[in-house]
Structure 1
């Protein structure tokens, strides 16, 4: 417990504003607000920071740790959402970063092919699907594609890619994985090799990668964006192999959960809300020490079956470090960051979520963010 408190203090001193970096004392309430905010990643409407009071408020008042960008606004069925052109996007991300007192995770789903927020038609470089890269299965081809993506993101000040997908393509008719070409292969070895090459290229270019969707979405027959998704009968332990091998090789970045229900792992809750799955399997059995992100908490597999407070409590107690509210499903909630932060604070006050759980997530998030600091600053703080 003493070691945890010391680590929180050290990381707070590194990343928090000096006036509220202390983990206790007269600034304890402010410190808790910061820590809670760092556990939130939020989507928003606006192609400039100045035209989006929602995200300005979320960053300045709620201290959110990250944002996620989209080209298309699902609730209004219209473009643009955040992305118009390379020049516009670079201005937006730079201005967002300037609003934040701590390094901001600026995230995007730039997997390649059909799941690309940066479209060639808007002036961004072309991309290929993971399925294509897996079929070619050539290290140079995969590395070149990943390097091109990472350099594009870096030039746009985007710090985190919500990729690569390491789901096995066990069901090629899967509407959310297989049919979209998002999986490298049905073979775990091929998925692992190509994911490792992708992560290595991202890291060398200064972009954080994210493995998804744990513990495996490749065998599903339905889309968790739209409804409850049960993989109990189709899931195989082989779907854990890419995670097991990449973690064993030292990966400690970020992993995104799936909203799939898998009675083999937890007979009660879907993976994002499941302590046996996130803490028991991912952390304790596989040994993952990095950041766990939820998939979008507003997707129907969660939102249609759990109240917001219940879902937040379950996810954090399961071991999720960053709750993602993409704000891009059936409705747009301009105050979602403040609403979620208020709920988390209330849950801590009631003892439903422990302060130790918040501190542990804060440590993991700030440790991940330390990778985004300039090399000279990393050295000074070691």
Structure 2
């Protein structure tokens, strides 16, 4: 894709930010309109109800315009990571779905989630989790993972991501190259994985390889240090991990998101200007900065400054922006305008049927275990 964008707009396409409140701030809408943002990530603070969510997404899409439709993303995994509450479909934790290993049901569940997300204008779900929950002491993954072995995670996650994308919502597998065997929460500290490459190839990497082969639209990095791959360097900032391993070896062709650059694993060690430019140079295509609009502006300014003085960095920004825009133009946000039509989709018959079938499958599983 050939891009003829001013440097400020080119770099702006790489930043996906968050903000407070259910009404988009004028400052944020202006940044979208001027091309200094490539989209938004929504949290529970932004989505108090179905109608307000659709109205918010409509405002974001209108500000960005039809030529640069935004990413509008949310974490709607199920279980404890569920931003949209009832009447939206609230799936149980991924672990309980992985225990069923009913792949057609998993695909249906993902399609039902995607149908609801698309109806309110969300075009990107930061799911599924591709991490293997191999460490019982892990404080952040746990039952968010489909299972404790790579085979279960791989089969379940691929079914889920395919279901999302069949229904028109971009999937984002996380957290590359695998956050399952850490004992620290990267929101609070920088975890390290000390396993050798053979173990990574056996446990951590298979779900990411399978997701890439299945055409997952995007992946998200982990703010972890993997000593066997790039000693001392967080994966988000590692060209060895994001480019050499993920692009060149695994063959991933989608959009690579950084995890939130405001998390302490990165923010406690790197100013946002350094983190933003390092993440893009490493191979990330979109930077999540999930709350602070001042930090978003600082990251944007740092990208522009480096792109203006370094042609190779500008080329990397152009490559990243092209990937982002390709996905955004394929699936622009299209919220349903009518509250009555929304009510027929959100918590509608398809969602209720999925929940009933999940409950029946769990009851059958429990009955079989009891005999």
Return the TM-score normalized by structure 2: 0.84
Q: Does 1:354 align with 2:329?
A: no
Counterpart of 1:58?
31
Counterpart of 1:377?
none
Counterpart of 1:187?
149
Question: C-alpha separation between the residues in 1 aligned to 2:277 and 2:59?
Answer: 32
Q: Does 1:240 align with 2:198?
A: no
Deviates more, 1:62-71 or 1:364-373: 364-373
Counterpart of 1:380?
none
Assess, with a 3 A threshold, how the Cα gap between structure 1 residues 108 and 254 changes in structure 2: closer, same or farther: same
Mapped contact 2:226–2:234 kept (Cα < 8 A) = yes
Deviation at 1:281, TM superposition (A): 0.4
Deviation at 1:270, TM superposition (A): 0.7
Unaligned runs of 5+ in 2: 334-371
Query: Which structure 2 residues correspond to residues 122-271 of structure 1 after superposition, within 5 A?
Result: 123-178=87-142, 181-233=143-195, 236-237=200-201, 238-249=203-214, 251-271=215-235
Question: C-alpha separation between the residues in 1 aligned to 2:91 and 2:332?
Answer: 28
Deviation at 1:268, TM superposition (A): 2.9
Deviation at 1:334, TM superposition (A): 3.1
Mapped contact 2:123–2:332 kept (Cα < 8 A) = no
Counterpart of 2:13?
38
Q: Does 1:283 align with 2:247?
A: yes
Counterpart of 2:360?
none
Greater RCO, 1 or 2 (C-alpha within 8 Å, sep 6+):
2
Query: Which structure 2 residues correspond to residues 364-375 of structure 1 after superposition, within 5 A?
Result: 364-372=323-331
Structure number having the greater helix percentage: 2
Assess, with a 3 A threshold, how the Cα gap between structure 1 residues 115 and 293 changes in structure 2: closer, same or farther: same
1:228-256 Cα deviation digits (max 9, x unpaired): 1111249733210011123234x151010
Assess, with a 3 A threshold, how the Cα gap between structure 1 residues 112 and 252 changes in structure 2: closer, same or farther: closer
Question: C-alpha separation between the residues in 1 aligned to 2:206 and 2:271?
Answer: 33
Unaligned runs of 5+ in 1: 1-6, 13-22, 24-29, 72-80, 328-332, 375-382
Deviation at 1:367, TM superposition (A): 1.7
Moved over 4 A (4+): none
1:189-214 Cα deviation digits (max 9, x unpaired): 21111111111211121100001000
Assess, with a 3 A threshold, how the Cα gap between structure 1 residues 176 and 352 changes in structure 2: closer, same or farther: farther
Counterpart of 2:77?
111
Question: C-alpha separation between the residues in 2 aligned to 1:247 and 1:144?
Answer: 21
Deviation at 1:126, TM superposition (A): 2.5
Mapped contact 1:252–1:291 kept (Cα < 8 A) = no
Deviation at 1:279, TM superposition (A): 0.5
Return the TM-score normalized by structure 1: 0.82
1:90-138 Cα deviation digits (max 9, x unpaired): 1111111111121111000000010000123xx3223211101101111
